[in-house]
Amino acid sequence: MDMTLADVEKDIKTRLQQGATSRKSAMHTCVVATADCDLRVMVLREYCSETNRLRFHTDSRTPKVTAIAGNPSVAVLAYDQQGKVQIRMRGTARIEQDGPVADAAWAEATNFAKRCYLAQQAPSSAVPEPTSGLPQWAEGTNPADDEVAPARDNFAVLLIEIAQFDWLYLANEGHRRARITPGEDGAEPDRTWLVP
C-alpha cells in the first residue's frame, strides 16, 4: 500500500528523533551546509517535532559560526542508506553561546565530550605540526569537572529552525518524493508529492 503525505511527515519525525537519540541511527550524523557554500558533518543532538528545530553542538570559534552570523540560511542533509531515505532540509540557523539551551546542553555533555572545547587555538588555525589542539595534559584523558570548566567559554549550540523538508524514498517499484513545509505558528503544514 502506498504511503500518504501524513505517513511521510511521521517518517521524517521518527527518523530525525531516532537520529538525535541513537548513535546507531544513520541520521545521527547530518551534513550541515552554510550560505558560504561550505558543508560539514555534525552530530544531531536533538530534534523537536513541535518547533521543527534541530540542535547541534559546536565550538564558538569555528568558521561556520562566522558564516551563520553573516547569513543564517542553512541546509541540512540526512541519509539512511538501509532505509533508502534521504531528507533534505532548509532552515534558519542561530548560534547560542549563553542561555538555558546552551547551559542545559553543556550540563548534559560528558567530560570526554567537553574536552574537545579545550583547544587552545581556534579550530581552523594553521599550525606547523599535526595536533589535536588540546593542551598536553588533556591528551588521552577523561578530565575532571574543574579541568573542563574553562572549555564552556568555547561551547555553543547551533539551533536550526527547519522551514522545508524534502523527503525522497528509493524503491524498485517506483521512487517517491514529497515536500513538507511546516506552517507558521502551529498552522497546518503544506504537503505535496513531487516527481522524484
Contact footprint for ligand FMN (CB under 6 A): 29, 38, 40-43, 56-58, 62-64, 123-124
Minimum Å gap between C-beta 12 and ligand FMN is 21
Residue 188 CB, nearest approach to ligand FMN (Å): 33
Q: For the beta carbon of residue 66, count every other beta carbon within 10 angstroms.
A: 14
Cβ 39 to ligand FMN, closest distance in Å? Answer: 8
Check residue 121 and report its DSSP letter: S
CA-based torsion, 9, 191, 196, 20: positive or negative: negative
| Residue placing its CB nearer to ligand FMN in the complex, 7 or 36 | 36
In a 3-state reduction of DSSP, which class is residue 157? strand
What string of H, E and C letters represents the secondary structure of 31-46?
EEEECCCCEEEEECCE
- Using the minimum distance from each CB to ligand FMN, give the nearer residue, 83 or 123: 123
Beta carbon of residue 75, minimum distance to ligand FMN (angstroms, whole number): 14
Rounded to 10 degrees, what is the CA torsion of 138, 139, 143, 146? Answer: 10
**Buried b / exposed e along 95-129 (16+ C-beta atoms within 10 A):** bbeeeeebeebbeebeeeebbbbbbeeebeeeeee
93: β partners = 160
User: Which helix (H) or strand (E) is 55 found in, with range?
Assistant: strand 53-59
C-beta closer to ligand FMN: residue 8 or 57? 57
- Is 8 or 30 the residue whose CB approaches ligand FMN more closely? 30
Min. distance of Cβ 161 from ligand FMN in angstroms? 18
Closer residue to ligand FMN (CB): 40 or 84: 40
